[in-house]
Amino acid sequence: MSVAPLSILGGESVYCINQNQLGDAMRLANEDEESSPRIQAVLADVELALTRNERAALAFVIIERLREPIRTADTRA
Report how many domains make up the chain. Answer: 1
- Quick one: pLDDT at residue 29? 96
Q: What is the pTM of this model?
A: 0.67
∠ at Cα 52 (70, 37), nearest 5°? 60
DSSP secondary structure of 4-17: -----SSTT-SSPP
Would you say how long the chain is, in residues?
77
46 belongs to a structural domain: yes
Q: Which residues contact 3 (CB under 8 A, 6 or more apart)?
A: 53, 56
Question: Could you tell me if residue 6 is inside a domain?
Answer: no
Q: Is residue 4, in this structure, part of any structural domain at all?
A: no
Per the rule left: phi > 0, alpha: psi between -120 and 50, beta: everything else, 51 is beta
Looking at the domain assignment, is residue 56 inside a domain? yes
Is residue 76 in a domain? no
Let me know if residue 42 belongs to a domain.
yes
Residues 9-62 have pLDDT tens digits of 555 555 677 788 889 999 999 999 999 999 999 999 999 999 999 999 999 899
Higher local confidence (pLDDT), 20 or 1: 20
Residue 30 placed within a domain:
yes
52 part of a folded domain: yes
